Amino acid sequence: MIKTPDWVKNAVFYQIFPDRFARSESTIKGQWQASTYEGWDATPTYQGYKGGNLWGIIDKLDYIKDLGVNAIYFTPIFQSASNHRYHTHDYYQVDPMLGGNVAFDALIKAAHEQEIKVVLDGVFNHASRGFFFFNDILENGPNSPWLDWFTVHDWPVSAYDGSKPANYQSWIGDRALPEFNHDNPQVKEYIMQIAEYWLHKGIDGWRLDVPNEVDTPGFWQEFRDRVKAVNPEAYIVGEIWGDATLWLDGTQFDGVMNYRFTEPTIAFVGGENYDPQYCQHELRPYPPISGTEYAIRIDALLKLYDWEIQQTQLNLLDSHDTPRMLTTVREDKSSFMLSTLLLMTFPGAPSIFYGDEVGLTGGKDPDCRRVFPEPETWDVEILKGYKELIALRHQYAALRTGTYKTLYADQYLYVFARILDEQEVIVVVNAGNEQTDTVFVVTELKSQPEDLVYGSGRLNWQNTPEGKKLELIIPGRSGAIIN
């Protein structure tokens, strides 16, 4: 029987890119401060550092808690010569710019005191040119004792000169990212021990970067066994953009970053507001789809994996790898908030990319990684909506772990229910520009929910010879939650 962490089913995640969220000075001796940063409010560049750190995040935990968030997913925090830290130098050291291991220990303690879980990014497919074991190969060539930690095709290796063949295996041909040889038992054991080490240090789970690139048989099965042996409730979530059936069999990951939810959701409520220039990777929320097609695609998605897995998927609208959703829909707030309504009422854990809740914009990488804005520039209307929807998710257990039933769908209207025991909650989205007045038979519910707890509109239940009917009058470009 498949078992996933119960806390994730009740979690609302906040994704933080540490260099861009907040910065604060440390007074602890030995906390080295870098001397040159890019301007905090300047347009982000690929290689520039802003200087955000873990001390700054600790200072903002009250804000995160007040939002209703109870879990944080951090993009990589280990020592690295890149602002995003996917080029790992040392898996046992938190980057000194972030405050080092001292700041991490303080962060874990402070977060857990606020009942906020912490999930780290595990970059275990590749390391970097600065990673000691690979750097030894650069220094000693064929004489290096660590050759079989990587895959060298020929000599000499060229780690920096793009005019020459790299001569070693790297991620998507990027010579900055030498790939581990996962068939080497030492490499496998090294990665397993890293995972265990940070769990013992108090983290609550791992997000795995490009885990589909690791094809050594049994690797992720052993990873799960080792992780769960340290903490049975630890969360393992993979970055898989497409169909994740191979990895969601209950022996590997608890869930994946659910871009299969993101795509149809934006295509439905974003509609023609979505700018197709932002389609990239495997995420293509264009052309627009109808409510009927959305119902079909969501039903197919919910049938793809075991229900226990569905409840621990990591659902999102955007991330550090995609443009900000608000920008992709040409800053149309109704598209953004209708998507957020669907995000907060879908099975699985919703994940907010830092700043989305205050209307932060940004195009393709690196623009999507802007700094968290100052309060005077926040969109307070969006923030109010986020807080309201998160609070309702926490208030109604059915919105977290209830079964999901589509009640009605047409060109612009989509209506579904979340049902848990006697609690039945209806969610309505009108993606059209005009008010809709729709009547349909409801056979899936025992009760007749009629309390409008979010949004606007009117409803009326009718008992007819054909059965129980629900009339919904919902303004254009709006949604509602009914209990």
8 Å CB contact between 414 and 268: yes
- Tokens representing 393 are 């998710």
Domain 6-399 class in CATH: alpha beta
What is the reported pLDDT for 25?
A: 84
For residue 299, the 8-state DSSP code is H
Give residue 28's pLDDT band: very low, low, confident or very high (50, 70, 90): confident
- Tokens representing 221 are 């099965």
- Residue 172 clears pLDDT 90, i.e. is over it: yes
> Could you give the CA distance from residue 200 to residue 302 in angstroms, rounded to a whole number?
34
Report the CATH number of the 401-482 domain.
2.60.40.1180
Instruction: Please give the mean pLDDT across all residues of the chain.
Output: 97
- 312-332 burial code (b ≥16 CB/10 A, e <16): bbbbbbbbbbbbbbbbbbeeb
**For residue 349, how many C-alpha atoms fall within 13 Å in the half-sphere facing its CB?**
33
For residue 245, the 8-state DSSP code is G
DSSP H helices, 233-358, are 259-270, 291-304, 307-310, 325-328, 333-344
- Residue 34 clears pLDDT 90, i.e. is over it: no
- Residue 32 clears pLDDT 80, i.e. is over it: no
What is the reported pLDDT for 74?
A: 98
> Which residues of the chain does CATH 3.20.20.80 include?
6-399
8 Å CB contact between 349 and 11: yes
Q: Which of 4, 42, 2 is nearest to 370 (CA)?
A: 42
The average pLDDT across 47-67 equals 97
8 Å CB contact between 302 and 294: no
What is the reported pLDDT for 123?
A: 98
- Residue 29 clears pLDDT 90, i.e. is over it: no
The average pLDDT across 430-449 equals 97
Tens digit of each residue's pLDDT (9 = 90 or more) over 262-312: 999 999 999 999 999 999 989 999 999 999 999 999 999 999 999 999 999
Angle between helix 333-344 and helix 380-395 axes, rounded to 10 deg: 20
Phi then psi for residue 88, to 5 deg, are -75, 130
Percent of the chain with pLDDT over 90: 97
Catalytic residues: 209, 239
Give 217: exposed, middle or buried? Use CB within 10 Å, 0-12, 13-18, 19+: exposed
8 Å CB contact between 248 and 314: no
- Residue 159 clears pLDDT 80, i.e. is over it: yes
Residue 105 CB neighbour total at 10 angstroms = 15
> Which residues of the chain does CATH 2.60.40.1180 include?
401-482
- 364-399 burial code (b ≥16 CB/10 A, e <16): eebebbbbbeeeeebbeebbebbebbbebbeebbbb
- Residue 26 clears pLDDT 90, i.e. is over it: no
- Residue 413 clears pLDDT 80, i.e. is over it: yes
Tens digit of each residue's pLDDT (9 = 90 or more) over 107-143: 999 999 999 999 999 999 999 999 999 999 999 999 9
What is the reported pLDDT for 31?
A: 77
What is the reported pLDDT for 283?
A: 95
For residue 43, the 8-state DSSP code is P
- Tokens representing 78 are 């280990």
